[in-house]
Amino acid sequence: MRKGQNPAKFVKEVARPQRITVAVLNYIPFLSGFYAEALDVLKVSLESMRNEPGLPFDLMVFDNGSCPEVRDYLVSEKEAGRVQYLILSEKNMGKGGAWNIILAGAPGEIVAYSDSDILYSPGWLALSVELLETFPRVGMVTARSFRTNPEYHTSTREWAAENAALEEGQFIPWETFWEFNRSLGQEEAENRNIYSETKDWQIIYQGKKAMIGASHWQFVSYKSTLAQFLPFDMDKPMGQVKQLDQRMNAAGYLRLMVTDPLVMNLSNTTDYVKGVYAAKQSAPKRAGLIKRLVQFGLVKKTLLAVYDQIFKWYYS
């Protein structure tokens, strides 16, 4: 027999979620090698996210089987009230598996998805939502303009040609273009060729300007729109996430970017935040023989391939 009455029966109101859920996917299996600074990157990312985003939000973090140190940090953030929803997965479900839970389970009407290595600038969320709400049938908005594959935004260009002021040219400054691609470990000489041979598209609609393109690593979207593309059935942990970009384009949704660089890829280091890139460019070239040798193209590719294979043996 029940003893007494459940106190919850006398609660008159329940908390309502914010209209926007910022959803972060995190995976840090250990704190050495490639991931030596990954926890620091995560901390910097979450701190910058909260720095004047322009709109209120709830934060949801999905941890995809990280090491104990990272899980402990996330739990402490949850207990401190800085993370509203925390999901700790026992195993790495891959990005597709995590997306199926995050994008379906986020309580907000709008989902702002991000990888865990993103640096945010003030206003990143407000400007993204402004484009989302101004343009019709928007699939996703990324808070940074960069060169994306034109095959993934054919629908956006077709719509803009008929319904807005559409221009094509080189609207992204070289410095902004190179800043982002350098963070991905790419070479400058190759990127100068790519920059000169490719172009950008920008739209002006109802007085608002946007760049054409977007990407799966950081975007804002309506939850109802994302639901149309679930579930994701990906058989690899990475490398197949462009399915979202492709499916949205095929379905005729607009894929847009804000004109300013309001998010930045940190990758696996906080060097960008510390200003190390600038210091390295101005410092004398005094690298030792071994350091110069490992940076040689063929040697670098070979060593990275070996590292890749070792990682797969242990964690695939």
Domains of the chain: 20-265 (3.90.550.10), 275-308 (no CATH)
Is residue 29 within 8 A of residue 90, CB to CB? The reply is no
Q: What is the DSSP string of 223-267?
A: HHHHGGGPPP--SSSSS-THHHHHHHHHTT-EEEE-SS--EEE-T
- Tell me the C-alpha to C-alpha distance, in Å, between residue 284 and each of 79, 101, 108, 214, 280: 47, 49, 50, 38, 8
Whose structure tokens read 């002021």? 165
pLDDT value of position 3: 76
Whose structure tokens read 């598209």? 201
Query: Is pLDDT above 90 for 84?
Result: yes
- Which residue type occupies 195? Y
pLDDT value of position 231: 87
pLDDT value of position 273: 86
Query: Is pLDDT above 90 for 12?
Result: no
Round the average pLDDT of the chain to a whole number and report it.
88
pLDDT value of position 294: 52
List the structure tokens of 229. 């593309």
**Tens of pLDDT along 227-266?**
999 888 766 655 567 888 999 999 999 999 999 999 999 9
Query: Is pLDDT above 90 for 45?
Result: yes
Query: Is pLDDT above 80 for 309?
Result: no
Cα separation, 168 vs 201, whole angstroms: 4
Which residues contact residue 258 at a Cβ distance below 8 angstroms, ignoring those fewer than 6 apart?
Answer: 124, 127, 128, 131, 141, 142, 143, 144, 145, 210, 211
Cα separation, 74 vs 43, whole angstroms: 10
Residue from 180, 108, 168 nearest 143 by CA? 180
Is residue 59 within 8 A of residue 22, CB to CB? The reply is yes
Q: How many CB atoms lie within 10 A of CB 101?
A: 19
Cα separation, 170 vs 255, whole angstroms: 18
Please state the length of the chain. Answer: 316
**pTM score:** 0.84
Cα separation, 111 vs 131, whole angstroms: 14
